């Protein structure tokens, strides 16, 4: 099976850099994926992307060295299975607040006995090659999002769930949950949570990820120990 180069880098303790795609276009997805990012994440939660768009974008990204990731709309077994069968090599799952919800992420991302993913890798097995069933559990990245006060309070319980490869911080939702204006960076309790998440992930050997669509932000997160930095957004880049 094709190797997940993002997970290979995490195993070596390296930082990975990615792009965020909210525009429903296979052409723009391929353009972005050819710029040398480690991963390109198709955003089905807040972007304007449905499953048909996501499928075409995964195919476009798959023609490059960049790993195709998807942020699904919700922690729901069916859509996680569908994007994996389409060829996603990583799934980012929003609003995971409890260890039980984290376990649901793992169940959807892994074949038995580690999980309960249904077998039928429609496109994934064609693209990823021989040994998909045997190796998918090791190669697919399961990435719940920690983005609320409750999730931070239960962080150790979430990180103790077997099968999580990284947690991804939604900085705006974390801000809102803490009673602040949504933003990519905030002081006080938000900053304390940012540091706590990185330190806890390091203790468990799990990568911490964060949006950081400008150099000052991603250097800021690197210094705290984040090893998954989304350094570019197609909509932000187009606006700028």
Which pLDDT score is estimated for 172? 96
Q: Residue 58, Cα to own-chain centre: how many angstroms? A: 14
pLDDT digits (tens, 9 = 90+) for 48-96: 999 999 999 999 999 999 999 999 999 999 999 999 999 999 999 999 9
In this prediction, residue 137 has a pLDDT band, given cuts at 50, 70 and 90, of very high
Stretch 162-187: mean pLDDT: 97
User: What contacts 177, CB < 8 A, 6 or more positions away?
Assistant: 147, 148, 149, 150
Which pLDDT score is estimated for 47? 83
pLDDT digits (tens, 9 = 90+) for 19-48: 999 999 999 999 999 999 999 999 999 989
Which pLDDT score is estimated for 8? 98
Average pLDDT, the chain: 97
Which pLDDT score is estimated for 78? 98
In this prediction, residue 213 has a pLDDT band, given cuts at 50, 70 and 90, of confident
pLDDT at residue 122 tops 90? yes
End-to-end CA, the chain: 39
- Active-site position among 2, 9, 46, 107: 46
Which pLDDT score is estimated for 134? 98
Distance CA 20, CA 23 (A): 9
**Look-up of token digits 């990823």:** 128
Which pLDDT score is estimated for 230? 97
**Does pTM surpass 0.95?**
yes
46 annotated active-site: yes
């Amino acid at each position: 099976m094709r190797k997940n180069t993002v997970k290979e880098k995490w195993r070596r303790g390296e930082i990975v850099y990615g792009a965020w795609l909210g525009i429903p276009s296979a052409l723009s997805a391929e353009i972005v994926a050819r710029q040398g990012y480690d991963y390109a994440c198709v955003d089905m939660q807040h972007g304007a992307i449905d499953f048909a768009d996501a499928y075409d974008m995964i195919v476009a990204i798959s023609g490059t060295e960049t790993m195709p990731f998807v942020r699904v709309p919700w922690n729901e077994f069916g859509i996680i299975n569908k994007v994996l069968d389409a060829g996603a090599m990583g799934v980012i799952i929003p609003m995971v607040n409890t260890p039980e919800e984290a376990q649901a992420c793992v169940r959807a991302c892994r074949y038995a006995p580690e999980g309960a993913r249904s077998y039928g890798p429609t496109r994934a097995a064609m693209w990823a090659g021989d040994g998909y069933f045997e190796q998918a559990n090791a190669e697919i990245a399961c990435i719940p999002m920690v983005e609320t006060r409750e999730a931070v309070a239960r962080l150790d319980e979430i990180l103790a769930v077997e099968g999580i490869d990284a947690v991804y911080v939604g900085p705006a939702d974390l801000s809102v949950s803490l009673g602040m204006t949504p933003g990519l960076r905030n002081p006080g309790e938000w900053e304390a949570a940012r540091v706590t998440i990185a330190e806890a992930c390091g203790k468990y050997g799990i990568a911490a990820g964060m949006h950081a669509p400008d150099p000052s932000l991603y250097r800021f997160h690197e210094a705290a120990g984040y090893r998954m930095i989304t350094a570019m957004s197609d909509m932000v880049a187009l606006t700028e």
